[in-house]
Amino acid sequence: MTQKLKLTKPTKKMTEEVVTELVGEHAMPIVDFLKGKTKISEFIIAEELELEINETRNVLYKLLEHNIVSFLRKKDRIKGWYICYWDFNEHMVPQLHKKLHQQKLDKMEERLVNETSATFFMCGNACSRMDFDKSMEFEFKCPECGNLMHQQDNSRTVEFLKDRIKELKKLVS
């Protein structure tokens, strides 16, 4: 990885999006606390944020799974036990952000293929929706309520997906 890439600073909104989607909103205070600091003891984090140490560690490990934070384990010379010192990997955020949008884009594209390659039938009471072959099996009668199923006009869904794909493509390019 080049030095130039590492210097890309994520916006606050970008960080929030990544942390919230990958770990959860509850992880934001820890990320905010670590921001701009280096090698912070997990006990300090817990104390400053008034969290239980186990709760703090659980969140940190979740963040670690996604490389949002990293740690250094050192033996405390006085107490004799190991303490983890944590860093927020701010430079990872833009990459993770891009990855998140790429995954969404893949899903949307898959859905679009699905929507445009099949004809869907839907019950008038909206209890079931299925493709042509499946509806044939049920003789075009809803398996839930027995109502006749009608071919669904999915052009709005297709339009929605196309728009969303266009937006996401801008974000990942």
Interface residues toward Zn ion, by CB under 5 A: 123, 125, 127, 142, 144-145, 147
Task: Rank residues 59 and 142 by Cβ distance to Zn ion and give the closer one.
Answer: 142
Q: Which two tokens stand for residue 144?
A: 């839930």
Nearest distance, CB of residue 151 and Zn ion, angstroms:
15
* Closer of 51 and 142 to Zn ion (Cβ): 142
Q: Cβ(92)–Cβ(13) under 8 Å? A: no
Min dist. Cβ of residue 136 to Zn ion (A): 16
- Residue 135 CB partners (closer than 8 Å, separation 6+): 121, 149
Contact 73, 83 (CB under 8 A): yes
Question: Of 113 and 148, which has the nearer Cβ to Zn ion?
Answer: 148
Q: Which is nearer to Zn ion, 18 or 123 (CB)?
A: 123
**43: Cα separation from own chain's centroid:** 28
Residue 121, strand partner residues: 130, 151
Q: Is 88 helix (H, G, I), strand (E, B) or coil?
A: strand
Q: How far is the CB of 143 from Zn ion (least distance, A)?
A: 8
From the list 156, 158, 157, 128, the residue with the least C-alpha distance to 141 is 128
Minimum Å gap between C-beta 146 and Zn ion is 7
